[in-house]
Structure 1
Amino acid sequence: MINKSSKVLLITLCIVIVFSSFSFSSSSLSDESKENLYKDFLLTFLSSYIADSITEYYGYSKSFDLWDAKVLSLERLEQGLYYFKIIVQVKTFQGAHNPPYGIETVTIQQDVHGIKVIDFIHEDFKDDKS
């Protein structure tokens, strides 16, 4: 049976480990800019709309990387309201980054009717290595 002082020591050790891990993870997050965090969150949130529009265009799903996505523009549609339009560009590929490649420009709008893709533009992309 564990005596009382051993229990207290064990609990204290657990608390120290838990809080030190929290402070480590929060300090590593603070190294990242808020702008980068906002962009990554927004792209992650919109990724299903982007993927669905790509699938609709090709007739099957294609891969793309969020880390390589470009936010071309973001605008508020009406002053004082939470209606927005964002234009995102991604490079699509097959499998493990294999051709055929495409540059997909997706315009997504959020308004009183919800979130929807309002425009999709495809461009063929030739890799310089090919």
Structure 2
Amino acid sequence: MKKFYLTFLAIFVILFPSSVRIHGEAVSQELLHDSFITALEPHISEAIAEHKQKMKTYGAYNMNYGLYDVKIIDIEREEEGGYSFNVVLTVRTFEHAHNPPHFTETISLRVNPYGIRVTDIQLEGDDEFYRVERFYKNAISDIKQTFSLNLESYQRYNMDDLHNRLEKKQSFTQLYDYAKEIQNKYSTREDKTPPLHNVMKPMTYIKSKNGYILFKQANGVNVMYKLKKQNSNWKVVGHRTKPGKKMEKELLWYL
């Protein structure tokens, strides 16, 4: 019933002429726009959440937004006289208190009396996003080189990737707990004082029953934990620390 109501409201808003009146006053284009994006909101948030899980980024990003960050840029009727529409909108997201990294998601939807369906989503990050990705890529490269690791065939998980999978598999809970424990052990609050810091979050690599968790301390020391899956449980079977490259302070304090 809720889905039907939202679909009806979305089409209702599209079809209403600008001359429609409420309480004796003409409805503004802004009111029509805001009503429409309110109806579309459940589909927008679901599309962003699903796309976020599919992104294979080094950094973990919140991608927060408000309805005021949503802008409709195009609406087309599929057939003359028909009630199916293709809608394109953009969403500008933020990380912390409206601060970067910012992303612009361009989302395409098909709207008709039977429902609302996302047909495409494209994402573009800002300069801060690319700075974070370069930082992690360089840090991970130094760690791999330090410990002579070849992880090309391994699946990479950042902290958000692990957290998003906690409810699906118990093994991810163990991996997340290990990563969190390593982060707490080898970094302090003082390492991330504003405005910038150089401490990455742990990165986990998994292939079948083998795994590694990699971390780099603020002083450049590289940390490597080796994992083995035994009887459905992940166990730490070894760990090493070794001097490495000290990274420049490039990460915003809240990242």
TM-score interval (norm. to shorter): 0.5 to 0.7
Asked if structure 1 preserves the Cα contact closer than 8 Å seen for 2:63 and 2:103, the reply is no
Q: Say whether residues 1:45 and 2:45 are aligned partners.
A: no
User: Does structure 1 retain, via aligned residues, the 8 Å contact 2:62–2:94?
Assistant: no
SS of structure 1 residue aligned to 2:83: coil
Counterpart contact for 2:92–2:102, Cα < 8 Å? yes
Structure with more contact order per residue of length (Cα contacts < 8 Å, sep ≥ 6): 1
| CA-CA distance at 1:112 after TM superposition | 5.7
RMSD over aligned Cα, in angstroms?
A: 2.5
**How many angstroms apart in 2 are the aligned matches of 1:46 and 1:125?**
25
The alpha-carbon deviation at position 57 of structure 1 amounts to 1.1
2:90 aligns with 89
- Change in Cα spacing, 1:119 to 1:33, as seen in structure 2 (3 Å) is same
How far apart are the structure 2 equivalents of 1:90 and 1:48? Answer: 13
Structure 2 distance, partners of 1:90, 1:125, is: 13
Contact 1:92 1:102 survives alignment (8 Å): yes
Query: Which whole-Å deviations, capped at 9, do the CAs of 1:19-75 have from their partners, x for residues lacking one?
Result: xxxxxxx69xx4x85211110000111111111111011128631122232211011
- Give, as a single letter, the amino acid of the residue that structure 1 aligns with 2:70: A
- Check the 8 A contact 1:51/1:61 in 2, yes or no: no
* TM-score, scaled relative to structure 2: 0.35
Q: Using a 3 Å threshold, how does the CA distance of structure 1 residues 69 and 85 change in structure 2: closer, same or farther? A: same
Maintained 8 Å contact 1:76/1:84: yes
> Using a 3 Å threshold, how does the CA distance of structure 1 residues 112 and 44 change in structure 2: closer, same or farther?
closer
8 Å Cα contact 2:108/2:120 also seen in 1: yes
Q: For residues 55-94 of structure 1, what are the structure 2 equivalents within 5 Å?
A: 55-59=49-53, 62-94=63-95
- Name the residue aligned to 1:101: 102
SS of equivalent residue, structure 2 residue 81: coil
Point out the structure with the larger strand share: 1
Distance in 1 (alpha carbons) for counterparts of 2:115 and 2:42: 14
Structure with the higher helix share, 1 or 2? 1
Counterpart residue number, 1:122: 123
AA paired with 1:99? P
TM-score, reference length from structure 1:
0.66
| Matched-pair contact (CA < 8 Å) for 1:68–1:91 | yes
Structure 2 unaligned blocks of 5 or more: 1-22, 54-60, 129-251
The structural deviation recorded for 1:89 is 0.4
TM-fit CA distance, 1:117? 0.3
Describe the shift of the 1:79–1:53 C-alpha distance in structure 2 as closer, same or farther (beyond 3 A). same
2:49 alignment partner AA: T
Structure 2 Cα separation of the partners of residues 85 and 56 of structure 1: 20
CA contact (8 A) 2:69 2:93 kept: no
Deviation larger for 93-102 or 113-122: 93-102
